[in-house]
Amino acid sequence: MTSSCSSWVPLVSFSKKNVDDDENSEITKLVYVKRTDARIQTAEDCASHKGETKTGDSSVGDKIIVWPPIVILENTRLGWDNDKRKWNGLGHEDIRRFVRKLSDQKSTFVKVKCLFDVKGQKGCALVIFAKSNEGYLEAKALDRLLSKMSKGRMDWARVKPLLKSHKNHMNTVAEWSTDDLVSPRGERILYGYLATPEDMERLDRHRRSIKWFAESFHEKLAFAPSFQRQHKFMKLP
């Protein structure tokens, strides 16, 4: 994804070939092993929630989750367009390919939504999963996998650029082009994590990108018989 316009200030030399080419990607066969482990740990988490509620007190071990399940991907900006005075970034199809390489080709994510504001690409995207037991498990597994790859929430907090208002966007471009954000091959290094209600209030408070809700984990999933059967007898690839 390049441009001949002299006003285009790229953060990275990006091409769709970089996304598709296994040899030029961070994704290796080890990912499938990690994904299996992530699914196992997700099932164990769900089982622990079930165990915590045996007393009949629905408040024990409960938590508030985002519904539908959403994973936030960070570091999607590609460059600043001086003519349009806006940030450009990875497109929806680029994000879809990235997620499919990490997760099962039959992943239940249903939509990708890149976020924008008056300055263009905000630098993040929402991966929206199905409103189902499987959708939650897939989102949680992706969250765990990114964390295992050192590309999770805490990792992003460590490497993300400071949110400053620069009149000279070249300063901002430099901040978004560090070794933690751009690979030696010139690819954006994506980070991600399972969205919390606090995250969504920050990114989409007025629910313009997606109509999301803050729901009780127990009310939505933990007490559902189908969910209990699913995490107990989950088939692993």
Q: Which of 133, 129, 138 is nearest to 50 (CA)?
A: 133
52 three-class SS: helix
Predicted confidence at residue 49, as pLDDT, reads 52
pTM above 0.85, yes or no: no
Contact 74, 190 (CB under 8 A): yes
> What are 184's two structure tokens?
């030696």
The CB density around residue 159, as the number of other CB atoms within 10 Å, is 16
Distance of CA 6 to the CA centre of its chain: 32
Residue position matching structure tokens 């007490």: 223
Q: Which residues pair with 216 in a beta bridge?
A: 64
pLDDT digits (tens, 9 = 90+) for 43-90: 555 555 554 444 444 444 678 999 999 999 999 998 888 888 888 999
d(CA 119, CA 183): 25
Residue 167 backbone dihedrals phi, psi, to 5 degrees: -70, -35
What is the band of 172 on the pLDDT scale with cuts at 50, 70, 90?
A: confident
Show the tokens assigned to 227.
């969910």
Cβ(87)–Cβ(77) under 8 Å?
A: yes
Higher pLDDT, 143 or 232: 143
Residue type (1 letter), 219: E
pLDDT tens digit string along 1-39?
Answer: 444 444 555 554 444 444 444 433 444 444 554 555 555
Question: Among the CATH numbers 3.10.20.30, 3.20.20.70, 3.20.20.140, 3.30.70.2890, which is that of 8-232?
Answer: 3.30.70.2890
Quote the pLDDT of residue 196. Answer: 97
Residues whose CB falls within 8 Å of the CB of residue 137, separated by 6 or more in sequence, listed in order? 39, 42, 43, 46, 230, 231, 234
- The DSSP output letter for 222 is I
Token representation of residue 150: 């050192």
**For a pLDDT cut of 70, what percent of the chain falls above it?**
62
Question: Which pLDDT score is estimated for 173?
Answer: 76
- The CA dihedral of 208, 210, 216, 220, to the nearest 10 degrees, is 150
Angle at which helices 30-52 and 225-232 cross, to 10°: 140
